[in-house]
A and B are shown apart, each in its own frame.
Chain A
Amino acid sequence: MFYRTSGQFKTSYTADMALFPVRQDAILLAVILAFAWVILPLTASEFAFQTLLIPILIYSLAAMGLNILTGYAGQLSLGTAAFMGVGAYACYKLVTIMPWMNPVVAILMSGVFSAGVGVAFGIPSLRIKGFYLAIATLAAQFFLVWLFEKWAWLYNYNASGAIQVPTLEMFGVTVAGPTASSHVQYYVVLGIVTLMTILCINLTRGTLGRTWKATRDMDIAAELIGINLMKSKLTAFAISSYIVGVAGALFVFMWRGAAEPNLFDIPLSFRILFIAIIGGLGSVLGNYLGAILIVGLPVILNTLPETFGLPISSATVEHLNIMIVGALIVFFLIIEPHGLARLWALIREKLVIWPFPH
Chain B
Amino acid sequence: MDFLNSLLVQPFADMFAAPDFLMQVLWEGLVSGILYALIALGFVLIFRSSRIFNFAQGIMVVFAALTLVGFHEMGVPAWISVILSLGVMFVLAVSIERVVLRPLVGQPDIILFMATIGITLFLIGFGELIFGGENKIMITEELGIPTGEFIFEPFGGFLLLEQKDVTAVVVAAVLVIALLAFLNKTRMGRAIRALGDDHQAALSVGISLQTIWVLVWFIAGIIALVTGIAWGARAGVSFALEVIAYKALPVLMLGGLESITGAIIGGLMIGLMEKLFEIYWGQPLLGGNTETWFAFVLALIVLLFRPQGLFGERIIERV
Could you say which residues of chain B place their CB within 8 Å of the CB of A327? Answer: 118, 122
CB distance from B222 to the nearest CB of A (A): 23
- Whether A146 pairs with B304 at a CB distance below 8 angstroms is no
- Whether B104 pairs with A138 at a CB distance below 8 angstroms is no
- Whether A329 pairs with B249 at a CB distance below 8 angstroms is no
A312-358 contacts to B, CB under 8 A, are: 315-316, 319-330, 333-334, 337
- Whether A143 pairs with B297 at a CB distance below 8 angstroms is yes
Number of A residues contacting the other chain (C-beta, 8 Å)? 47
CB distance from A6 to the nearest CB of B (A): 36
> Max chain A CB contacts within 10 Å: which of B111, B120, B289?
B111
Could you say which residues of chain B place their CB within 8 Å of the CB of A330? Answer: 99-100, 115, 118-119, 122
- Whether A322 pairs with B125 at a CB distance below 8 angstroms is yes
> Max chain B CB contacts within 10 Å: which of A76, A132, A316?
A132
- Whether B319 pairs with A266 at a CB distance below 8 angstroms is no
A218 contacts B by Cβ under 8 Å: yes
Could you say which residues of chain A place their CB within 8 Å of the CB of B121? Answer: 322-323, 325-326, 329
> Max chain A CB contacts within 10 Å: which of B128, B290, B300, B319?
B300
- Whether B299 pairs with A139 at a CB distance below 8 angstroms is yes
If A326-B120, A329-B121 touch, does A135 touch B249 (CB 8 Å cutoff)? yes
Task: Pick out which of these stretches binds chain B: A51-59, A92-100, A122-130, A153-161.
Answer: A122-130
> Max chain B CB contacts within 10 Å: which of A139, A143, A323?
A139
If A327-B118, A330-B115 touch, does A321 touch B297 (CB 8 Å cutoff)? no
Task: Pick out which of these stretches binds chain B: A38-46, A184-192, A270-278.
Answer: A270-278
What separation, in Å, do the CA atoms of A321 and B315 have in the docked complex?
Answer: 41
- Whether B124 pairs with A131 at a CB distance below 8 angstroms is no
- Whether B307 pairs with A136 at a CB distance below 8 angstroms is no
Could you say which residues of chain A place their CB within 8 Å of the CB of B107? Answer: 333, 337
Could you say which residues of chain A place their CB within 8 Å of the CB of B244? Answer: none
Task: Pick out which of these stretches binds chain A: B7-15, B77-85, B250-258.
Answer: B250-258
CB distance from A135 to the nearest CB of B (A): 5
B17 contacts A by Cβ under 8 Å: no
What separation, in Å, do the CA atoms of A142 and B246 have in the docked complex?
Answer: 10
- Whether B319 pairs with A277 at a CB distance below 8 angstroms is no
- Whether A128 pairs with B114 at a CB distance below 8 angstroms is no
Chain B residue at minimum C-beta to C-beta distance from A70: B110
B292 contacts A by Cβ under 8 Å: yes
- Whether A333 pairs with B125 at a CB distance below 8 angstroms is no
A300 contacts B by Cβ under 8 Å: no
A205 contacts B by Cβ under 8 Å: no
Number of B residues contacting the other chain (C-beta, 8 Å)? 51
B103 contacts A by Cβ under 8 Å: yes
- Whether A326 pairs with B253 at a CB distance below 8 angstroms is no
B158 contacts A by Cβ under 8 Å: no
Could you say which residues of chain A place their CB within 8 Å of the CB of B129? Answer: 316, 319-320, 323
What separation, in Å, do the CA atoms of A325 and B114 have in the docked complex?
Answer: 13
What separation, in Å, do the CA atoms of A142 and B297 have in the docked complex?
Answer: 9
What separation, in Å, do the CA atoms of A319 and B129 have in the docked complex?
Answer: 6
B152 contacts A by Cβ under 8 Å: no
Could you say which residues of chain B place their CB within 8 Å of the CB of A15? Answer: none
- Whether A146 pairs with B292 at a CB distance below 8 angstroms is yes
Could you say which residues of chain B place their CB within 8 Å of the CB of A29? Answer: none
B132-175 contacts to A, CB under 8 A, are: 133
CB distance from A322 to the nearest CB of B (A): 3
What separation, in Å, do the CA atoms of A16 and B214 have in the docked complex?
Answer: 50
Could you say which residues of chain B place their CB within 8 Å of the CB of A138? Answer: 246, 249-250, 296
> Max chain A CB contacts within 10 Å: which of B110, B133, B303, B308?
B110
- Whether A150 pairs with B287 at a CB distance below 8 angstroms is yes
- Whether A323 pairs with B126 at a CB distance below 8 angstroms is yes
B42 contacts A by Cβ under 8 Å: no
Could you say which residues of chain B place their CB within 8 Å of the CB of A274? Answer: 114, 117
What separation, in Å, do the CA atoms of A174 and B125 have in the docked complex?
Answer: 40
What separation, in Å, do the CA atoms of A218 and B319 have in the docked complex?
Answer: 8
B277 contacts A by Cβ under 8 Å: no
B16 contacts A by Cβ under 8 Å: no
What separation, in Å, do the CA atoms of A70 and B111 have in the docked complex?
Answer: 12
- Whether B125 pairs with A136 at a CB distance below 8 angstroms is no
What separation, in Å, do the CA atoms of A173 and B114 have in the docked complex?
Answer: 43
CB distance from B117 to the nearest CB of A (A): 6
Could you say which residues of chain B place their CB within 8 Å of the CB of A142? Answer: 246, 292-293, 296
What separation, in Å, do the CA atoms of A322 and B128 have in the docked complex?
Answer: 10
B205 contacts A by Cβ under 8 Å: no
B75 contacts A by Cβ under 8 Å: no
Chain B residue at minimum C-beta to C-beta distance from A224: B319
Chain B residue at minimum C-beta to C-beta distance from A127: B307
Could you say which residues of chain A place their CB within 8 Å of the CB of B103? Answer: 334
Could you say which residues of chain A place their CB within 8 Å of the CB of B318? Answer: 220
What separation, in Å, do the CA atoms of A136 and B289 have in the docked complex?
Answer: 19
- Whether A326 pairs with B118 at a CB distance below 8 angstroms is yes
What separation, in Å, do the CA atoms of A273 and B128 have in the docked complex?
Answer: 23
> Max chain A CB contacts within 10 Å: which of B257, B289, B293?
B293
What separation, in Å, do the CA atoms of A240 and B114 have in the docked complex?
Answer: 20
If A132-B303, A320-B129 touch, does A333 touch B104 (CB 8 Å cutoff)? yes
CB distance from A118 to the nearest CB of B (A): 15
- Whether B309 pairs with A132 at a CB distance below 8 angstroms is yes
- Whether B303 pairs with A128 at a CB distance below 8 angstroms is yes
- Whether B299 pairs with A135 at a CB distance below 8 angstroms is yes
- Whether A329 pairs with B118 at a CB distance below 8 angstroms is yes
CB distance from A293 to the nearest CB of B (A): 13
Can you list 14 A-B contacts with CB-CB less than 8 angstroms, sorted by A residue number? Answer: A124-B304, A131-B113, A134-B53, A135-B250, A136-B300, A136-B303, A138-B246, A270-B117, A277-B110, A315-B133, A320-B125, A323-B122, A325-B121, A325-B125
The 10 A-B pairs with the shortest beta carbon distances in the complex, nearest first, are A323-B125, A326-B121, A326-B122, A322-B125, A329-B118, A139-B296, A142-B293, A330-B118, A143-B293, A319-B129
